[in-house]
Structure 1
Amino acid sequence: MKILAPRGTADILPKDQKIWSKVSSTCKQIASEFSYDRIDTPIFENTELFKRGVGDQTDIVQKEMYTFKDHSGESITLKPEGTAPICRSYLQNGLSNSPLPIRLYYISPMFRYERPQAGRLRQHHQFGCEAIGDPSPQVDAEIIELGWTYISRLGLKNIDLRINSIGDLKNRELYIKELKKFLMDHKNKLPKIDQERLIRSPLRVLDSKEEVTAEITKNAPKCIDYLQNEDLEHWNELIEFLNVIKDTHTQFNYYIDHSLVRGLDYYNRTVFEFQPRESTSQGTILAGGRYDPLIEKIGGPVTPAIGFGSGIERMILEIKKQINKTDLSDKTDIIIIHIGETTKKSYAMASKLRRLGISTVLAPKRSVKAQMRYANNINAKFVLIIGEKEIKSGKAQFKSLHSNIEDFDIELKSDLIAKKFNDFQKISYA
């Protein structure tokens, strides 16, 4: 019997490495442009961090964490999300002594025991950014713009921002009281799972994926109507900043979604999600919000903070939907077809081209027809044909397999071949 990968996990195969590399490098580039520094935290943390930070009554803590006792009897959890560990590190390592806000980003695997589906795995990878130490709506706008820049730089179109404010704890108590009253009037129509949520945490009902519940909550009270004083001022100023972003990013579009609350207890004020326009809540590709209470919950002083997380698998799924697959495939730059007794010299040419940064493969020693078939099978961009005639003349045939460039002869000099290849690349990306 074959041993298979655990359910809900996936290998990242060679054919997908190019797109993974593109997404990962885009994460790093955008974070750097916004002056965010990388931080890495352990794969596992003390379970108490997530119980106190994420919230005992959340679905994550109740149902989805991978928790075990180590050999010393300590309860350990594979991290299900990235924000609480960042805040733990912020406190433990004295990062509060840095000029605030401190801007951090991470790229890390996360682990959640949930039903596997497209773009949602039990081990997934997440890109996240956190700005800690500034309560102003300007920083909320910065985090949102960073997320949008990342999405648009990956070439995605028709992505909308859903945004809401859930206020602070005091304002939210008033709102939850009214929301609970409304939901109790419809309790018998709610699915069992949402009846349980109504008892545990009424806000979670707004976050439900059940269609019946979504229809009922369309008429629920709106949290924004209960915002007061500083919360209302913060919200109104954030909307002004979003309009500035809209003026500078032509494809940026946002709308206020009164049902948006996010699924973690540490959020307050701003919550947001980016979704493809023709999508359901399962289609969220980046989400976050403000979490001013979190650092105090895990033993620190009251500290304002905001951040987002973006599942890389989910993002890649959307990229594959929207972008031509041939643009995503990993192609060998040049394959050398060698004819007759030219294998050693062809091998030497392949070595020289690789040193110049051109991915080069020497075709297996077969017939010319079989070598050409192999070139097509590995999706090579160009073919360099070297036979005994070419060795004597000092010129080889250069063929493109994916463009309308006519075949031509080129001098058998690695620097000239590399330059010609790079010139063609510039034309194709212009």
Structure 2
Amino acid sequence: MNRINAPRGTRDIVYPEISHWQMLEARIREFYSRFLYREIRTPMFERSELFQRGIGDTTEVVQKEMYTFQDKAGRSLTLRPENTASVVRAAIENNLFDALFPLRFFYIGPMFRYDKPQKGRYRQFHQFGIEVFREESAELDAEVVYAAYAFLEELGLREISLEINSVGCDECRPAYLRVLQQAAQARRDELCADCRRKVDSNPLRIFDCKQPGCRSAAATLPTIAAHLCPGCAGHFVGLQAGLDTYSVPYKVNERMVRGLDYYTRTAFEITSDRLGAQNAILGGGRYNRLIRDLGGPDIPGVGFAAGMERLLLHLEISPENEPSLCFLACQSAEFRPQVMKLARVLWQAGYHAYVDYSNANLKKQFRRSDRMAANFTLVLGEEEAAEGKVTVKDMTRQEQVRIPQQELLKWMNQRK
């Protein structure tokens, strides 16, 4: 019978790699609690309308990458391709705007996009991110960017670059889009088929394209910098001043836009040259109209999301100190109840312990202990049982002792 493999673009995370994920997740929770972010968990699937309205009908994500299906009642549902819209929906539905202050959230979890699998990119992938609602200052944007950059630095990443831009707002962006559309129309023949379509529907997305011809054409197109309204221009100056205050190095990239339509004013991205063409680790920005567009109050938001698979490619994670591993062997099954009682004592004290229930001879049990890299091998046989003792082999120090069973925990604690 043919075996069944995981779907293309997905993967299993098993030991020992899973320990790296657990360490990263613990670091995320600890770091962002310093900034008063609270964890939020949202469903892995939502009504499709949430992402169509939130992300934008003309984006690549909505048009090509979403996993959308109908349930048995005929409702259109989508596996979440990102989590900002879901967090906004959860805040609206649970009345968090009135119940909590400050409105700061972080999340960790899987997302889903039908994309071409490659190094660090999967169709089921994992992100962590933060979202802040109700606060609009440029200084807050600088703090959010700092919280992203400083976390990567604290993880030990050094080969990273931060790019920032302003993508304008509803007041100044429409006029700029008309100018951009006119300029893109003049270079239409140089663009790929997708970007030719975007000229009419969403010309900003041309800046996202990785095709060489489109990149060359995009380099000649006008940027929004000269078209920003006074409010957006002042906000961008304030963002840069805030980043200078936080000592965060950055580069202004007037052609950097985010792939989701809800962004306004601040947009930023952190990249690494170690990942080749798909070099983005983290990106985010401000979204002042998204909450209103999804049926909530007219209040602003800002945040970012980071790809955990890509991040883990950068990290050299050393295992944290774990409790000592004890392998419990017995000469025959008649002594196993005493071994099980000793294991219970060790488990309750926080030690990792493994009881061999195989009825194999001691030589085979010792080989299993070596295979598991046990720190201690505990042996209980006829002599030990008669004396009320247990033999303990310290595999690190290559020492062996026989001690009373009731003194085992005391002896173990002295060896820490």
- TM-score bracket relative to the smaller structure: 0.7 to 0.9
Alignment of 1:413-428 (within 5 A): 413-420=407-414, 422=416
Tell me what 1:428 maps to. Answer: none
SS of residue matched to 2:72: coil
- Out of 286, 290, 295, the residue aligned to residue 291 of structure 2 is 295
User: 1:188 aligned to 2:189?
Assistant: yes
**Is the contact between residue 273 and residue 288 of structure 1 (CA under 8 Å) also seen in structure 2?**
yes
Tell me what 1:57 maps to. Answer: 58
- Out of 316, 320, 324, the residue aligned to residue 333 of structure 1 is 324
Structure 1: state its 5+ residue gaps: 247-251, 401-405, 423-430
Tell me what 2:7 maps to. Answer: 6
User: 1:284 aligned to 2:285?
Assistant: no
SS of residue matched to 2:172: helix
Taking a change above 3 Å as real, the CA distance of residues 278 and 17 of structure 1, as seen in their structure-2 partners, is: closer
SS of residue matched to 2:267: strand
- After superposition, give the CA deviation of every residue in 1:128-150 in whole Å (9 maximum; x if it has no partner): 21100011112212222222343
Deviation at 1:417, TM superposition (A): 4.7
Equivalent AA in structure 2 for residue 208 of structure 1: C
User: 1:314 aligned to 2:310?
Assistant: yes
Taking a change above 3 Å as real, the CA distance of residues 211 and 284 of structure 1, as seen in their structure-2 partners, is: same
Tell me what 1:116 maps to. Answer: 117
Deviation at 1:87, TM superposition (A): 1.3
Taking a change above 3 Å as real, the CA distance of residues 283 and 350 of structure 1, as seen in their structure-2 partners, is: farther
Taking a change above 3 Å as real, the CA distance of residues 388 and 88 of structure 1, as seen in their structure-2 partners, is: closer
C-alpha separation in 2, matches of 1:286 and 1:411: 55
C-alpha separation in 1, matches of 2:390 and 2:51: 67
Q: CA RMSD in A?
A: 3.0
Q: Which moved more, 1:165-174 or 1:175-184?
A: 175-184
Taking a change above 3 Å as real, the CA distance of residues 232 and 369 of structure 1, as seen in their structure-2 partners, is: farther
**Is the contact between residue 258 and residue 267 of structure 2 (CA under 8 Å) also seen in structure 1?**
yes
Tell me what 2:105 maps to. Answer: 104
* Equivalent residue pairs, number: 406
Deviation at 1:397, TM superposition (A): 3.5
Taking a change above 3 Å as real, the CA distance of residues 116 and 398 of structure 1, as seen in their structure-2 partners, is: same
Deviation at 1:71, TM superposition (A): 2.6
Equivalent AA in structure 1 for residue 6 of structure 2: A
- After superposition, give the CA deviation of every residue in 1:39-92 in whole Å (9 maximum; x if it has no partner): 222222222111111101011111111222223322222221111121122222
C-alpha separation in 2, matches of 1:374 and 1:196: 62
Taking a change above 3 Å as real, the CA distance of residues 117 and 128 of structure 1, as seen in their structure-2 partners, is: same
Alignment of 1:159-170 (within 5 A): 159-170=160-171
Alignment of 1:323-402 (within 5 A): 323=316, 327-328=318-319, 333-336=324-327, 338=329, 340=331, 347-362=340-355, 370-371=364-365, 373-380=367-374, 382-384=375-377, 386=379, 391=384, 396-400=392-396
**Is the contact between residue 9 and residue 123 of structure 1 (CA under 8 Å) also seen in structure 2?**
yes
Q: Which moved more, 1:15-24 or 1:383-392?
A: 383-392
Alignment of 1:83-94 (within 5 A): 83-94=84-95
SS of residue matched to 1:56: coil
SS of residue matched to 1:14: coil
C-alpha separation in 1, matches of 2:345 and 2:9: 43
Equivalent AA in structure 1 for residue 147 of structure 2: L
C-alpha separation in 1, matches of 2:364 and 2:158: 41
Equivalent AA in structure 2 for residue 106 of structure 1: Y
Deviation at 1:233, TM superposition (A): 1.3
Taking a change above 3 Å as real, the CA distance of residues 369 and 195 of structure 1, as seen in their structure-2 partners, is: farther
Taking a change above 3 Å as real, the CA distance of residues 337 and 104 of structure 1, as seen in their structure-2 partners, is: closer
C-alpha separation in 2, matches of 1:219 and 1:420: 70
**Is the contact between residue 292 and residue 299 of structure 2 (CA under 8 Å) also seen in structure 1?**
yes
Q: Which moved more, 1:170-179 or 1:365-374?
A: 365-374
Taking a change above 3 Å as real, the CA distance of residues 171 and 417 of structure 1, as seen in their structure-2 partners, is: farther
**Is the contact between residue 390 and residue 396 of structure 1 (CA under 8 Å) also seen in structure 2?**
no
Q: TM-score if structure 1 supplies the norm length?
A: 0.83
- After superposition, give the CA deviation of every residue in 1:10-35 in whole Å (9 maximum; x if it has no partner): 22223332122112222222232211
Equivalent AA in structure 1 for residue 271 of structure 2: Q
C-alpha separation in 2, matches of 1:273 and 1:416: 53
- After superposition, give the CA deviation of every residue in 1:299-350 in whole Å (9 maximum; x if it has no partner): 233211001112323322332xxx16xx259988324374756766555444
Taking a change above 3 Å as real, the CA distance of residues 87 and 17 of structure 1, as seen in their structure-2 partners, is: same
SS of residue matched to 2:11: coil
SS of residue matched to 2:185: helix
Structure 2: state its 5+ residue gaps: none
SS of residue matched to 1:117: coil
C-alpha separation in 2, matches of 1:44 and 1:415: 48
Larger Rg computed on CA atoms: 2
Among all aligned residue pairs of Structure 1 and Structure 2, give the percentage whose two residues are the same amino acid.
32
C-alpha separation in 1, matches of 2:86 and 2:303: 13
Q: Which moved more, 1:34-43 or 1:146-155?
A: 146-155
Deviation at 1:232, TM superposition (A): 1.4
- Out of 243, 253, 263, the residue aligned to residue 259 of structure 2 is 263
Deviation at 1:255, TM superposition (A): 2.1
Alignment of 1:166-181 (within 5 A): 166-181=167-182
SS of residue matched to 2:222: coil
**Is the contact between residue 131 and residue 139 of structure 1 (CA under 8 Å) also seen in structure 2?**
no
Equivalent AA in structure 1 for residue 40 of structure 2: I
Taking a change above 3 Å as real, the CA distance of residues 55 and 337 of structure 1, as seen in their structure-2 partners, is: same
